[in-house]
Structure 1
Amino acid sequence: MAEDLYLLIDGVRHAGLFSIEWEVDANNALFKVTAGVTERAANASVSEVPFPPLTPRGAEAQLLAKGEEEDELLVTGWVRRTYGDVGKPAMRRFLYIESKACDVVESAADGRKHGYRLKQKKIGEHAKTLYRPFKVPVTIEADSRTMDIAWQPGQRAFSVIEERARKAGLSQTGSGDGGVVFYKGVRGRHAGEFITGGEDANCETLQYEDSEIGQFSETHYYGQRYKPSSGKDQTDGYATVENEAVRRHRIDIQRMEHDFDQADMRERAEWDGRRAAGGDAGNGTQVVIGTPDWRDPDGKLWMPAYARHVLAPDVAIDQLMAIKTGRFTWSKDAQIARLTMVDPRTIGGKDPKGKSGKAWNVPTKKAKYEELE
């Protein structure tokens, strides 16, 4: 059954909505929406054209789906830009909307009150402190251990937190209230399964990619450990993790942005290797599933980092897969969801122990650590 969607602009229902393109991403804190609308031209009177006036950029936007008992909030954000062609007396145009978290992504973290340093809290609590002035909600499904953080004037609020989240092996995605969700691994499981081909098919394979671009046989992380007792950086550390799926010699060396210990270095090296295998930056091994349904049989919307079993013999998949990205397309006549699926291990999940082909293997080795004098 098609979704019954509606759009609120500054709390008022928009009467001219005709299409929606909604994007979610397991590795991106922003939900993004492009809404097609019809609006009244500036010189048209209300009596001539029964459409709302032009939407100003910066307006608050909320996308909702009508429910049997209560409506569901899908996206809360700001209208970042408007564009389209003028057709008098009405305008057919598009509103580009991003989650409210866009403000912490683009704005600097004002550290004057804190001396550009926050002490002895987990990363989720640090995020709440830095994001609070922007009224961006923070949901903590997984968190780091207690840590101190410091940053330079001018550094973006989101980047201050995101660097430390990577250090802890955490990922961030968006939420319907416009905020950010911290999680690690698979967030939950969708009911049922996707089946392509045969009489039992309930979806189709839209695209398959098996790429080595951006993958390395070894991922190295190098950094210096800060020892408070000495007051200086005095130990160099090196973490190395191998990717057995890459058959020739290819090395990636990264420098740790902040002070570390052994657990930090190993976690970060393994995290980067897994993400590359799952198509971070658009590469790796992944499959795009197309389905007219936006929800599983239990009524839950497809959400990033949630898993569902996929049986797709045409691309040798028979295992639990995680949703890396989702693109939901809607009009009053039709709808479709395009879901990019990856092995759960690429987002920090557990081995699904399925029956898929070798192309779906991901790095499984643990990182090695050594200190360099």
Structure 2
Amino acid sequence: MTLETVVFSVNGKTLPHTSAALDESAEEAVRTAQFDIAWTGAGIPCAPDDEATITVTGALWGTGYVRDVRPGHDENSRTYSVSFVSRSCDATECSIDHPTGLKRDADLGDIAREFDVLGVGVEVKARTIKKAVHKVRPGETLFQTLETDARAQGVLIHDSPEGKLVLADKPEGRHAGALVRGVNIKGASASLSGATSFSSVKVRGQASIGVSASALRAEAEARGIARRRRPLIVPFEGEATSERLKKRAIWEAKRASGEGVSCQITVAGFRDLGGQLWKANWLVEVDDDWLGISQDMVIASLTLSQDGSGGTTARLSLKDPRALGGDNPRGKSNSAWGAPGSTDADYREV
């Protein structure tokens, strides 16, 4: 196992620490981290909004800012807790100040680049449908103006180590090796719930132009996995077309079912068998007979932790790949890990 060195640099200077916890998610636009700083100088070690980077044994993990500084002490000792936030935080917290607030004939990537007025940066890894007009509502953040269309088109918004927004519609890579009970799994748990599974997902929407049934009473339906009748009806976000309604129905069916099927696995170290740092939205094979799972899973989120008592560990939260836009894992898991959602949807005018 690689001896990992986590370096937290603020304004170009390294701050020594006694513990570190790095959090990353494929379903969150902003990665964060928490450090207990070993500071012996006068005053505080840093201030909120200082520029900061995090590297793990030389590999860039995060680019952003100091978020919170919490000093404290008793009669004999002192503590300094410092948190980090990705530079993508400006895309989720700051309003868009754009001359017109208008973009025509644009897909999601075009819209993101047009309204990235703060220069956060955007990486587009998803193919999305163009819309005739996109208007920014007063006060909207970049994330807010993208999120509605992203949800409608099955696109995830997360961030990169450079602090840019990433638009993705499927897992972005595969980790080497596998997570196997008795080999490299230190601890594991799972959650199998029927609360978010439905028998069918119907998406209904309207077009802003026309009075025909296709404009006013359009519907797409995807099959879910519930074993009894549990329908879900979702109003479509934005301008409805048959292609958009079907894509939204399939995505919602997968997402709803996938939310109820997950596992959490703790492993030693920060890397897979090939030496790659664990990454959110990457696939990995999981084989744990005590949990009844043997299939590919996608890392939805993870925490890399290092301290004097627990050592160096990674806690991975995993879901069925289709919950994040991936393909059928086709494994040998227990039937309770049933595949989420449909791969097709029916369109009709009601």
TM-score, L = length of structure 2: 0.92
Q: Tell me how far apart the structure 2 counterparts of residues 108 and 252 of structure 1 sit (CA, whole Å).
A: 33
Q: 2:253 aligns with which of 240, 251, 273?
A: 273
Q: 2:189 aligns with which of 204, 207, 231?
A: 207
1:349/1:234 Cα in 2 relative to 1: closer, same or farther (>3 Å)? Answer: closer
1:11/1:135 Cα in 2 relative to 1: closer, same or farther (>3 Å)? Answer: farther
> Quick check: 1:210–1:285 contact (8 Å CA) kept in 2?
yes
Q: Tell me how far apart the structure 2 counterparts of residues 273 and 234 of structure 1 sit (CA, whole Å).
A: 23
What is residue 37 of structure 2 aligned with on the other side?
37
Q: Does 1:102 align with 2:78?
A: no
Q: Secondary structure of the residue that 2:283 maps to in structure 1?
A: strand
1:175/1:332 Cα in 2 relative to 1: closer, same or farther (>3 Å)? Answer: farther
Query: Could you give the per-residue CA deviations for residues 243-264 of structure 1, whole angstroms, max 9, x where no partner exists?
Result: 12x1223232222221121111
Written as runs of structure 1 = structure 2, the 5 A alignment for 1:296-315 is 296-315=272-291
What is residue 143 of structure 1 aligned with on the other side?
127
Written as runs of structure 1 = structure 2, the 5 A alignment for 1:208-287 is 208-227=190-209, 234-244=215-225, 246-279=226-259, 284-287=260-263
Q: 2:141 aligns with which of 156, 167, 175?
A: 156
Q: Tell me how far apart the structure 1 counterparts of residues 349 and 141 of structure 2 sit (CA, whole Å).
A: 32
Which amino acid in structure 1 is aligned with residue 176 of structure 2? A
Written as runs of structure 1 = structure 2, the 5 A alignment for 1:1-373 is 1-14=2-15, 16-40=16-40, 42=42, 53-66=44-57, 71-87=58-74, 91-111=78-98, 113=99, 115-131=100-116, 133-147=117-131, 148-197=133-182, 201-227=183-209, 234-244=215-225, 246-279=226-259, 284-331=260-307, 334-361=311-338, 362-372=340-350
Which amino acid in structure 2 is aligned with residue 28 of structure 1? E
Unaligned runs of 5+ in 2: none
Q: Tell me how far apart the structure 2 counterparts of residues 124 and 4 of structure 1 sit (CA, whole Å).
A: 36
Segments of 4+ in structure 1 off by > 3 A?
A: 40-43, 87-91
Q: Tell me how far apart the structure 2 counterparts of residues 299 and 134 of structure 1 sit (CA, whole Å).
A: 35
Give the deviation of 1:304 after TM superposition. 1.0
Query: Could you give the per-residue CA deviations for residues 36-92 of structure 1, whole angstroms, max 9, x where no partner exists?
Result: 11334756xxxxxxxxx43111111211123xxxx2110112222222432467631
Q: How many residues align?
A: 344
> Quick check: 1:243–1:365 contact (8 Å CA) kept in 2?
no
1:7/1:88 Cα in 2 relative to 1: closer, same or farther (>3 Å)? Answer: farther
Q: Tell me how far apart the structure 2 counterparts of residues 289 and 134 of structure 1 sit (CA, whole Å).
A: 37
Q: Secondary structure of the residue that 2:52 maps to in structure 1?
A: strand
Q: Tell me how far apart the structure 2 counterparts of residues 105 and 173 of structure 1 sit (CA, whole Å).
A: 11
Give the deviation of 1:290 after TM superposition. 0.9
Give the deviation of 1:31 after TM superposition. 0.7
Unaligned runs of 5+ in 1: 44-52
Q: Secondary structure of the residue that 2:149 maps to in structure 1?
A: helix
Which amino acid in structure 1 is aligned with residue 321 of structure 2? P
Identity across aligned pairs (percent)?
A: 25
Range with greater deviation from structure 2 (77-86 or 54-63): 77-86
Give the deviation of 1:270 after TM superposition. 1.4
> Quick check: 1:225–1:236 contact (8 Å CA) kept in 2?
no
Q: Tell me how far apart the structure 2 counterparts of residues 104 and 26 of structure 1 sit (CA, whole Å).
A: 16
Which amino acid in structure 1 is aligned with residue 143 of structure 2? F
Q: Secondary structure of the residue that 2:30 maps to in structure 1?
A: coil
Which amino acid in structure 2 is aligned with residue 76 of structure 1? T
Q: Tell me how far apart the structure 1 counterparts of residues 25 and 268 of structure 2 sit (CA, whole Å).
A: 19
Q: CA RMSD in A?
A: 2.1
Which amino acid in structure 1 is aligned with residue 151 of structure 2? R
